[in-house]
Amino acid sequence: MTIRNTTQRWGAVAQLLHWLIVAFIITQFTLATMFDDLPSGPRKLALLARHKSVGITILMLAAVRLAWRWANREKPPLPDTLKPYERRLARLTHGLLYLLLFAVPLAGWTMSSARGFPVSWFGLFTLPDLVPKNKALYETLVTTHGVLAWTLGVVAIVHLLAALKHHFVLRDDVLKRMLPFTATKAQGSDR
């Protein structure tokens, strides 16, 4: 597997970024579910702090990922078997995922600022407040952050189901080329 993308498969950097973000999104939903049930106290603070740090990490990884994508114009194309509407749907889903990778953490960060709680990244540095303290804005952003997060969850599941369909129904390389240690038809041992 190469570092950079090829026309056959995603390179190591693109794969690493993709799967790290997957792991962190799962972490975020888990943490959110855990602290939602807790009364306010140090335990809730700890989980919230972790959630914020991981969220900022996703934001940073999303920026790196977009930059890497921009610097790596070569990428495996969508399979020829796709109908035009399926191509549009794939592009829409991917576009939405990128958008939400930025929107969800930004809404969370802004929400913390509006509450008047500065966001720290794993206690190593404190991020600047994006907006001044504003109770009404905070209440709105709680909803916004939640709705955006659930949208991300739904779109990610659509993305996952599509990948599984490609692998198990269409039996093409779409999933394999995002997986390490797998051979794709174009470059694998069966060529």
Partner 1 sequence: MRTRARALASALLATLLARVPAAAADNVTHYVLDPAKSKLEFSFSQAGAQNKGRFTHFTTALDLAASDPAASHLEVTVEMSSVDTGDQERDDTLRDADLFAVRKFAQARFVAAQIVKTATGYEAVGKLTIRDMTRDLRLPFVLRTATEQGVSAAYMTGKTSLRRLDYGVGQGDWKATDQVGNEVGVSFSLRLTAR
Q: Which residue reads 């056959």 in tokens?
A: 8
For position 118 contacting partner 1 by CB under 8 A, the verdict is yes
Nearest distance from C-beta of residue 32 to partner 1, angstroms: 15
Size of the site for partner 1 (CB under 8 A): 22
Distance CA 37, CA 44 (A): 9
Nearer to partner 1, 135 or 185 (CB): 135
Which one among 27, 72, 120, 140 touches partner 1, defined by CB under 8 A?
Answer: 120
Write out the DSSP string of the chain. Answer: --SS--SSS--HHHHHHHHHHHHHHHHHHHHHHHHHTSPSSHHHHHHHHHHHHHHHHHHHHHHHHHHHHHH----PPPPTT--HHHHHHHHHHHHHHHHHHHHHHHHHHHHHHHHT---EETTTEEPPPSS---HHHHHHHHHHHHHHHHHHHHHHHHHHHHHHIIIIIS--STTGGGSTT---TTTSTT-
Which one among 116, 150, 161, 185 touches partner 1, defined by CB under 8 A?
Answer: 116
Which one among 12, 67, 122, 157 touches partner 1, defined by CB under 8 A?
Answer: 122
Binding-site string for partner 1 from residue 15 to residue 44, where x marks contact by CB under 8 A and - marks none: -------------------------xxxx-
For position 60 contacting partner 1 by CB under 8 A, the verdict is no
Which one among 133, 143, 161, 165 touches partner 1, defined by CB under 8 A?
Answer: 133
Which one among 15, 66, 117, 167 touches partner 1, defined by CB under 8 A?
Answer: 117
Q: Which residues of 59-69 are buried (b: 16+ CB within 10 A; e: fewer)?
A: bebbeebeebe
Nearer to partner 1, 84 or 123 (CB): 123
For position 46 contacting partner 1 by CB under 8 A, the verdict is yes
Nearest distance from C-beta of residue 151 to partner 1, angstroms: 26
**Which spans of this chain sit near partner 1 (rule: CB under 8 A)?**
40-43, 45-46, 48-49, 52-53, 115-124, 126, 133
